[in-house]
Amino acid sequence: MLDRVGKFILVTALTLAVALGGYLGYLRYLNELQDRTVELCVDLNDIKQIATYEKKALGPVLDKLSENGIISVGLFEETLPDAAAKGELYYTSGAGIDRLGDFNPLLSRLRAQGKIKSDRTYLYAPSDVVRKRIYDQLQWAIGKESIKFLGRQVMEIDESEKELRELGLGISEVQKDYLVQKGFRIIPRVWNDPRYHFGNIGPKIAALKDFDTIIFDGEKILGYPDAIDSTAQALKKNHISYGYIEIVKQDGDALLRRLMDRDVVRVHSVPKRELEKLNKDEVIKRFVRAARERKVRLFYLRPFLPPQIDAYPVAYNLDFFGRVKDGLTKAGFVMGKAEKVQTLRVSDWQLLMLGVGVAIGLLFLFNHFVRIHSFIMILLALLCGTGMYYAMNAGYMSDLQKALALLAAVTFPALAVISSFARKEKVTFLPWNGTFIVINILAETLVGVFLLTGILADYRYMLGVETFRGVKLALVLPMAIVALYFILQQGSGGLKDRIASFLNLDVKMISIVSAVLVLGGIGVFVARSGNFVLPVPGFEKYARNLLEKLLYIRPRTKEFLIGYPFIFLAAAAYLRGKLKWLWLLAALGAIAPISVMNTFSHIHTPFIISMMRTVNGLVLGIAIGAMVAFLADTFILKRGEHKS
């Protein structure tokens, strides 16, 4: 009686935690419904390049871009060669002035006066505005003491010309004014330079205060490795958002995202080298998918260039950009400036309640291995809650979120599989029995899903500022727990006897080969969980695109082709009393609930998309799994019964 009362208390507490997780998931869903604005941006250098191919004026091409929904232009910092090409300034080394002689009256006069030194760089800038910008940028990078004015228009720089060529010198006023006049927003592209550190990044960023979003170029964020915090402080002080390019690796990116908090914008772009391997339709689908499934809100569009396309790149790319806009519009998005995500946070008491729910789930899982009285479980749950309370008060709120999310992702898939095989039912029609077990496993997994959703119902995870940690562990550990449980169920006697009985099983060579193949498959399963490990083969890309076309949201392959069929096979073996390989079948079947949990751990994916992906995977998984179970039961399990 007391044990039943204790279990009722535990189940009630878990139910309340799940309800809270569902409520927080609903708030997240409402937040996502309001976030439907996407921004299209092109690179000015790219547009110049395609216009040059056709010898067309830049102005009309930009006007056409605006008509196609492009509202922003990426503009790189000016360099000395860029400024010289525009006629804004002239620069050369002192040795160059000596060689060329009388080519500039002002520099020639300085040379005649003996003021030119061969190892210095000389810069002539007649415009006051340009000269001030160049001087400011140079003094921030190399120091005021390295620059000397020879009159009002000439600067002597104690640095070699070669060392100055790649230095970013701010945004050109001429280009800025021209683009603004055309109605475009400007997104500066800034690259890192080792000469910038915590002492001079502030003014560098402050010079960009007229812009509200910045995207860093190159492999390193400005300020990497030691001054990323200074970059973040300067960006926030000047109300500039950080546009981070997803998937593309940049050193310092993860730290800057965390420091910027809400002031980040998720950006997607297809690099030039990758664009060369794709066609127009593939890229358009990729952009729509990124907006719909990963909440990308700023697209940095790159054009297709000859020889990949014909001799009319302007018309081709205008059509491409217009079709990107149409694809996003049909998917329910509107064109405009990418806005900040609304603040959504989990409060202390909410995280505590959700954490206790996770702890109860863990205790239920442990109870399958070692029987614990329910009141002991209540005391342990309270102890866990007390520890969480002190951890939050000690400033470990974020770490606690990540730990609880990982614990939920490991616990509930394993618990769902183990508890669903707790009772042996009478076999009626095996596919029907298997379907019931599959649905029961998914239902119990959803308990963990709601807890996980509530724990990570935080705008930082939605933006990708913070990410779910321990993905590989969450994929493998539940399978190991399931396998261990069913291994310990075999044989008789104590724990030592059961383990010895399992280790002494007679194994055929075909079983060893199969086990090696299974381990290889698990390795692929884990490796494919990342973005940079294993590529996707061509036939799988085709299958994915077909499923996406038919079902709108593509289910995960490992769920309906591996996880659910193996759950059906495990159910068939269990119900027929064939328990020798149940540990392996059930462990492989656990891939399905593991994958479901993994789907919902991607908080940057809209909640409704994750739900649709899960339902599609379930429907396909039941269809395939039921057929597999029926065939296995007919030709293997029943035949084995007759032989015996």
Element (DSSP H or E) covering residue 189: strand 185-191
Beta carbons within 8 Å of 511's beta carbon, 6+ residues apart: none
- 214 lies in the same domain as 133: no
**CATH number, residue 51:** 3.20.20.370
pLDDT of residue 530: 53
Model pTM score: 0.84
Tens of pLDDT, residue by residue over 420-440, are 987 666 666 667 788 889 999
Greater model confidence, 426 or 78: 78
What is the C-alpha separation between 259 and 240, in angstroms, rounded?
13
Stretch among 78-87, 119-128, 503-512, 549-558 having the lowest mean pLDDT: 503-512
Higher-pLDDT residue of 598, 489: 598
As a whole number, mean pLDDT of residues 151-172 equals 92
What would the pLDDT profile of 55-70 be if each residue is shown by its tens digit? 899 999 999 999 988 9
Q: Looking at the predicted structure, is the pLDDT value of residue 497 above 80?
A: no
> 540 pLDDT band (50/70/90 cuts)?
low
Same domain membership, residue 105 and residue 73: no
pLDDT of residue 538: 60
Four-residue CA torsion sign, 351, 352, 353, 356:
positive
| The domain boundary residue, chosen from 335, 364, 389 | 335
pLDDT, position 642 = 44
* Same domain, residue pair 538 and 463: yes
Do 287 and 181 belong to one domain?
yes
* pLDDT attached to residue 367: 92
* Tokens standing for residue 598: 């993994």
Q: What is the pLDDT of residue 589?
A: 94
Of the three residues 335, 366, 401, the one that is the final residue of a domain is 335
Flag whether pLDDT at 639 surpasses 80. Answer: no
Q: What is the pLDDT of residue 113?
A: 81
Q: What is the CA radius of gyration of the chain?
A: 31
Q: Select from 287, 306, 335 the last residue of a domain.
A: 335
Q: Answer yes or no: do 87 and 236 share one domain.
A: no
pLDDT-derived band at 407, boundaries 50, 70, 90: very high
Query: Are 589 and 601 found together in one domain?
Result: yes
What pLDDT score was predicted for residue 387?
A: 95
One domain for residues 331 and 218: yes
User: Of residues 127 and 538, which shows the higher confidence score?
Assistant: 127
Q: Are 124 and 106 in contact (CB under 8 A)?
A: yes
Looking at the structure, do residues 149 and 174 belong to the same domain, yes or no? no
Does residue 276 sit in the same domain as residue 297?
yes
Within this chain, do residues 26 and 44 fall inside the same structural domain, yes or no? no
How does residue 512 score in pLDDT terms, banded at 50, 70 and 90?
low
Q: Are residues 315 and 328 in the same domain?
A: yes
Its domain, for residue 387, covers 2-31+343-643
The domain total for the chain is: 3
Asked whether the predicted pLDDT for residue 352 surpasses 90, the reply is: yes
What does the H/E/C string look like for 225-257?
Answer: CCCHHHHHHHHHHCCCEEEEECCCCCECHHHHH
Residues 6+ apart with CB under 8 A from 446: 596
pLDDT digits (tens, 9 = 90+) for 427-480: 666 677 888 899 999 999 999 999 999 999 988 888 877 888 888 899 899 999
Residues 14 and 43 in one domain: no
Quote the crossing angle between the two packed helices 2-34 and 607-632, to the nearest 10°.
Answer: 120
**The predicted structure's pLDDT at residue 2:** 61
Among the residue ranges 21-25, 212-216, 401-405, 638-642, the one predicted with the least confidence is: 638-642
Cβ–Cβ contacts within 10 Å for residue 580, how many?
13
